[in-house]
Structure 1
Amino acid sequence: MSFGDPNNPYGQPPQQQPGTPGYGYPQQGQPGAPQQGYGYPSAPPVQQPYGGQYGGGPTTMPSTVNAARVMLWVIVGLQVLGALLYGIGAAAVSAAKDSTDDPELARVLGDMPVGLMWAIAVFAIAWLVYAAMLAVKFKTGGNGVRVAALVFGIITAILGIYPFLIIGVVHLVLGILIAVFVGNANGRAWFNRPRY
């Protein structure tokens, strides 16, 4: 094997004339020579989705959504108090009806709806369980939790107006605020964020 053979792949490379570029190595400043080097061209910059964060949603719970969750816990506390008051009241009226000898007191106690008081106590317990489940699911829940919280806030506001007007003013305000905070753009972005 001779190194002088031009077709020998293991041979010595041919000598270049001075001032001419080598094969496959274009020189800077020559027309048609790439200016940034070899390889793939650089990629365009990555576009961020609407909202400014990668992943398409907020990574921390917005303050309005967190406030709605705190309001749900306040409603849980108020429902505990209401259930205790109605339950204790129903038990006291029932016990007083059975033990009184005064006909006037028996007539007044007989007019009190003990069954309705027990029903309100049971409803308050069911409503506090519903509020607690929603408050717990705010961190990981999706759009279904958002819709359930909207329904909860609207029904709470309606119940604060009609049957329990005087004691329901707090529930009215909290229900409206929960529905507004969960239904706004921050709430929509939080509950519709992608979960990985």
Structure 2
Amino acid sequence: MSFGDPNNPYGQPQQQQPPAQGYGYPQQTPPQQQGYGYPTAPPVSQGYGGYPGAPTTMPSTVNAARIMLWVIVGLQVVGVLLYGLGAIGVAAASDSAEDPALAEALGDIPVGQMVAAAIFAAAWLVYAVMLALKFKSGGNGVRVAALVFGIITAILGVFPFLIIGLVHLVLGVLIAVFVGNANGKAWFNRPRH
């Protein structure tokens, strides 16, 4: 069996010579000839990691949830400072109070509870910072942790401080909704290399 035979159907396809360029004809490139066998594969999609539906940039709702986490971090810093300075001020005033009415009024304020609230606020601050930093590279575990964070923040915003915690309530609900929706699921379940 010879592959050089022009009548062989299994042989190499013959290359056609381009027509000679004549006077008055524009220069043209010869058309590409389709080869024998299987057709060429379609181009690979340029999605994230070759997966067509995966987002390549953080969706706006997920980015908004991350910004809300940073807002909560700022509020927690203010809360830690207020609780800490308040506890120090009440402890110092109750120790040096010469007026019995002032000492009695300050005696009703539990300094230990204020210190515990400052420690809890600082721990919540660290939790929010860790979540906000992990939004870019985190997986589904970060999504679940952000959902839990948003729900607990909303509950704590209602329970002890209804008026002051209203901002925490709204931010917590929005974080949980934005991370829990389809865009959040697609972002945190995207393939990573």
**What TM-score bracket applies, with the shorter chain setting the length?**
0.7 to 0.9
Q: Distance in 2 between matches of 1:176 and 1:37?
A: 59
Q: Could you say what secondary structure the match of 2:7 adopts?
A: coil
Give unpaired runs (5+ residues) of structure 1: 1-8, 15-20, 28-35
Q: Distance in 1 between matches of 2:97 and 2:135?
A: 50
Q: Could you say what secondary structure the match of 2:162 adopts?
A: coil
Q: Distance in 1 between matches of 2:99 and 2:34?
A: 105
Residue 130 (structure 2) aligned to one of 130, 133, 147? 133
Q: Distance in 2 between matches of 1:170 and 1:37?
A: 66
**What amino acid maps onto 2:152 in structure 1?**
I
**What amino acid maps onto 1:74 in structure 2?**
V
Q: How does 1:1-196 map to 2 (within 5 A)?
A: 22-24=7-9, 37-43=34-40, 45=42, 54-55=50-51, 56-196=53-193
Q: Distance in 2 between matches of 1:61 and 1:162?
A: 33
Q: Distance in 2 between matches of 1:37 and 1:71?
A: 56
Q: Distance in 2 between matches of 1:71 and 1:37?
A: 56
**What amino acid maps onto 1:182 in structure 2?**
V
Task: Pick closer, same or farther for the CA change 1:81–1:102 going to 2, 3 Å.
Answer: same
**What amino acid maps onto 2:155 in structure 1?**
I
**What amino acid maps onto 2:91 in structure 1?**
S
What TM-score, normalized to structure 2? 0.80
Q: Could you say what secondary structure the match of 2:38 adopts?
A: coil
Percent of matched pairs sharing the same residue: 70
Task: Pick closer, same or farther for the CA change 1:109–1:23 going to 2, 3 Å.
Answer: closer
Q: Radius of gyration: which is bigger?
A: 1
Per-residue deviation, 1:140: 0.1
Per-residue deviation, 1:41: 1.5
Q: Matched residue pairs, number? A: 169
Task: Pick closer, same or farther for the CA change 1:147–1:168 going to 2, 3 Å.
Answer: same
Q: Distance in 2 between matches of 1:101 and 1:117?
A: 23
